[in-house]
Chain A
Amino acid sequence: MAFINQKNKEVQVKIVYYGPGRGGKTTNLEYVYKKFNHRIKTEMVTIKTQGDRTLFFDFLPFNIGKIKGYDVKIQLYTVPGQVKYNATRALVLRGVDGIVFVADAMTVRKEKNILSLNNLYENLEFYKKDIKQIPLVMQYNKMDLAEQGIPLLSFENLEQMLNSDIKAPAFKASALKGINVVQTMKKIIYMTFISLQKELE
């Protein structure tokens, strides 16, 4: 549930990018930060291990201005994708309003995607949230690797494997090249606000 301060007329929305390790969650945020920093004027905080993996989480806060008289702050988070950091992932999910599931389209990562989605399901359940009810956008990342001859799962295959039950909006993407990164983010923010509409009107 978003933090709504009626007195100060302020809304804080928490969006979490979830998915398997090395799937491109951090790259999504980095793209947004690099491309729009001149407009959103913020700092991205990221803590990585020696091997360049996210240790705790990445954090990109920005203000989108006033909506219905409320000052709206968006907080984008990523979670560490590696299996061993589940306590961190669960904690980052606390108070989440919207989720982007960044799946890795590489064929060799098929199982990792499923494991990560199941893990999201379980961690949401802990907070008594239903994966089918919470605003969620699927992003099938690394689609650009087809150009290099890397075996990829098709969009249809990914949809069938990960999204047949949830039926969330889905994007083919390349976080590295910035393809559909912004569309994904806009979509999740938009969907999250739709779910908050009652509270704000």
Chain B
Amino acid sequence: MIQKKDSSVSSEVKERLEKLFSEDDGADDDNLFQEDMENPVDSEIRELKAVVLSIDWEINDEIMSGLMKQIDALKKIYQQDQVLILFLQLLGTVGKYIQQKKAKAHPDSIKLLNSAYQSFEKAVTKKQLSEADRKNLLKTEVNRYKELKNQISSQRKAPIILTHETGEYQREQEKNRSESSNFQISPELTFVMEEIKKIIQAEFKILREELRS
């Protein structure tokens, strides 16, 4: 079908965007979401999952005490199940560490909290798992915990070279500089670096004003 050529800006933009960003069907994906859960799990577990996921986004006292409360509630429910109790103790220990260190917590501690939760959920919901399978799940998480503990204690011993938040970026920059003396900065990166400079200057200006007042 030949469409009448519209000369307005809007139709030109539409055409361009379709050409550049056409996906398989191009339709809105609203129907792809399930409004209801297919496999509802126990509400206490769901609540724990929500708290664990929240920690991945933000660590504050309210969320952390919510985690502890939820763990205690589940300990009461599963007091007869030794494996689940040990899982909850592990979650509690990692949670306490994160609660104490907050944003300074080792990044792997949040990963461990997530993976320990997932294994716990499996141990609770997958009825076909044997006792040995459940113990293996627990063993894996305990080993991860031990590994993290070692990492944290070795980190304490190592000299701190970069403590600023941008350390990773700076290290990357240093690496780039030493790897290639012909390193070319792309125009995009130059632009971004200029913007960052402005932002840092503005942040410092605000900080100075705050200190003065």
Which residues of A pack against B, CB within 8 Å?
A: 21-22, 32, 35-36, 39-40, 42-43, 45, 47-52, 55-57, 59, 61, 64-65, 67-68, 72, 87-88, 91-92, 104, 106-109, 112, 143-151, 154, 171-174, 179-180, 182-183, 185-186, 189-190, 193-194, 196-197, 200-201
Contacts and interface: CB of A to CB of B under 8 A. Distances in A.
Nearest to B193: A45
A45 B169 contact: no
B199 A180 contact: no
Contact of B9 (A45, A49, A50, A197): A197
Nearest to A187: B17
A183 B28 contact: yes
B202 A67 contact: no
B202 to A, nearest CB: 5
25 contacts: A48-B168, A48-B169, A50-B165, A55-B165, A55-B166, A56-B195, A59-B191, A61-B188, A64-B13, A64-B16, A91-B199, A91-B202, A92-B199, A143-B33, A146-B37, A148-B49, A151-B50, A172-B29, A173-B29, A180-B29, A180-B30, A189-B13, A190-B17, A201-B8, A201-B9
Given A22-B56, A197-B8, A179 B188 contact: no
A91 B198 contact: yes
B192 interface: yes
Contacts of A107: 50
The 4 closest A-B pairs by CB, nearest first: A22-B57, A179-B29, A193-B13, A143-B33
Interface in B158-213: 165-169, 186, 188-189, 191-192, 195-196, 198-199, 202-203, 206
Contacts of A91: 195, 198-199, 202
Contact of B49 (A149, A189, A201): A149
Contact of B107 (A50, A87, A189): A50
Interface in B37-61: 37-41, 46, 49-51, 53-54, 56-58
A172 B30 contact: yes
Contact of A47 (B37, B166, B206): B166
Given A43-B189, A45-B188, A186-B21, A147 B13 contact: no
Given A21-B58, A143-B33, A150-B46, 8 more contacts: A45-B189, A50-B107, A56-B195, A91-B199, A147-B37, A149-B40, A149-B41, A151-B50
B81 interface: no
A149 B57 contact: no
A182 B189 contact: no
B26 to A, nearest CB: 8
Contacts of B32: 179
B23 interface: yes
Contacts of B58: 21-22, 112
Contacts of B30: 171-172, 180
